[in-house]
Amino acid sequence: MGAEVVVEGLTKSFGKQAIWRDVTLTLPPGEVSAMLGPSGTGKSVFLKSMIGLLKPDRGRCVINGVDIVTCSEHKLYEIRKLFGVLFQDGALFGSMNLYDNVAFPLREHTKKSETEIRRIVQEKLEMTGLAGADKKLPGEISGGMRKRAGLARALVLDPQIILVDEPDSGLDPVRTAYISQLLIDLNTQIDATILIVSHNINLARTVPDNLGMLFRKELVMFGPREVLLTSDEPVVEQFLNGRKRGPIGMSEEKDTATMAREEAEAAAGHHDGSPDEDVRGVIPQMQPSPGLPERSGERRRKDRVMRILHTLPPAAQEGIIESLSPEDQQRYGVHPHMLVKSTPRPTPSPGPVPSQHQGQLPADQVAQFPGQQRPGQHRMRPADPGQGQG
């Protein structure tokens, strides 16, 4: 199973430009998570910080007990071997054919024989639908194929964590659907922890187990997909609906006067071209291709989410319960339209409670993974039944 990634209070700036601060989340092992956010909110910077290519100003990013923010170069080198990264353009060497590109990490980082390398490269090319394309140069193939070749290369060292930067960039919707399916199939086959960075709404709604969103230099939310998909938090709602009206503006954040003007214009009947339909709601998640086994990450996530169900907002609870099969509903002792009441929580310690204005929900409405702590919120007690880590 993939490694868990625990991020606590991670903060990054370039000189005086703050990118994001106090990002706290846990990527559950073997599950697929996606980080959304408007352009320029620092999603790629987040990915690069997670693998130690960029150094955060403060905070922790702990993988297998090692904090990659403070560890030695030697430890970082070791930890990086757990990662497979797919950069936006595949980051292939233009002068090497696909075979040599995919073989590159094996030749650089292992002492495997060429026979063994051939076996692994061919296996990964097959997994990514590129069997037979090994002699092609990156310049001779389509953008979608380049991404798949980048993915094949990311897989050769058997990564426990796969980071994927905008798998949909430059691809048409059909090719995006294919690469999305490939990511789900890979997760099924190798059970790696996957983090996808994207602003593709369709991918966000159908692929990941967990969703997060960066905006205004903060992590607005992170939790099971159903929490964001049913959220009425204005930033999340605007983003998932792809609307112009809302707090997200052309460059980043709109001022209050602009928002008020847009509200007034909308009330007066002006149509700004945004879709009328509200796409909020839980739609079925993409399943592994026929012939593949059940996805272990999905099964584990189901157990984990059912343990924290009572901590989630009612709409998310309903979405989760409704997406369970009748057998699972019976197994977990739930039924549609029931609301699992929140168990009393300890009184929060004094401290700033994130305000709606800052794009954050009050701490007790935010989906939190067990063992996680936010400012002003007590850590969930391990003794609390149903709060264990899935």
Ligand X SMILES: Nc1ncnc2c1ncn2[C@@H]1O[C@H](COP(=O)(O)OP(=O)(O)OP(=O)(O)O)[C@@H](O)[C@H]1O
Q: Smallest distance, Å, CB 236 to ligand X?
A: 16
Cα–Cα distance measured from residue 61 to residue 270, given in angstroms and rounded to the nearest whole number: 46
Nearer to ligand X, 39 or 347 (CB): 39
Nearer to ligand X, 19 or 286 (CB): 19
Specify the DSSP class assigned to residue 293: -
Q: Smallest distance, Å, CB 50 to ligand X?
A: 12
Nearer to ligand X, 11 or 44 (CB): 44
Q: Smallest distance, Å, CB 169 to ligand X?
A: 8
Q: Smallest distance, Å, CB 30 to ligand X?
A: 25
Contact pattern for ligand X over residues 2 through 31, marking x by CB under 6 A: ------------x----x------------
Cα–Cα distance measured from residue 208 to residue 204, given in angstroms and rounded to the nearest whole number: 6
- In DSSP terms, 193 is beta-bridged to 161
Which residues have C-beta within 8 Å of that of residue 71, sequence separation ≥ 6? Answer: 79
CB 231 within 8 A of CB 280: yes
CB 118 within 8 A of CB 126: no
CB 152 within 8 A of CB 102: yes
Residues 67 to 96 in contact with ligand X, rule: CB under 6 A: none
**Binding to ligand X by residue 199, rule CB under 6 A?**
yes
Nearer to ligand X, 168 or 318 (CB): 168
Compute the C-alpha angle 204/205/208, nearest 5°.
Answer: 60
Residues 229 to 258 in contact with ligand X, rule: CB under 6 A: none
Q: Smallest distance, Å, CB 40 to ligand X?
A: 5
Chain length of the chain = 390
Nearer to ligand X, 19 or 196 (CB): 19
Contact pattern for ligand X over residues 146 through 185, marking x by CB under 6 A: ----------------------------------------
Nearer to ligand X, 39 or 349 (CB): 39
Tokens 């990264």 correspond to 85
Residues 29 to 48 in contact with ligand X, rule: CB under 6 A: 37, 39-45
CB 153 within 8 A of CB 258: no
**What is the DSSP secondary-structure string of 279-336?**
--S--PPPPPPTTS---HHHHHHHHHHHHSGGGS-HHHHHHHHHTS-HHHHHHHT--T
**Binding to ligand X by residue 216, rule CB under 6 A?**
no
Cα–Cα distance measured from residue 85 to residue 153, given in angstroms and rounded to the nearest whole number: 9
Q: Smallest distance, Å, CB 89 to ligand X?
A: 12
- Of 188, 11, 198, the C-alpha closest to 86 is 198
Nearer to ligand X, 212 or 297 (CB): 212
CB 215 within 8 A of CB 249: no
| Size, binding site for ligand X by CB under 6 A | 11
| Binding footprint of ligand X on the chain (CB under 6 A) | 14, 19, 37, 39-45, 199
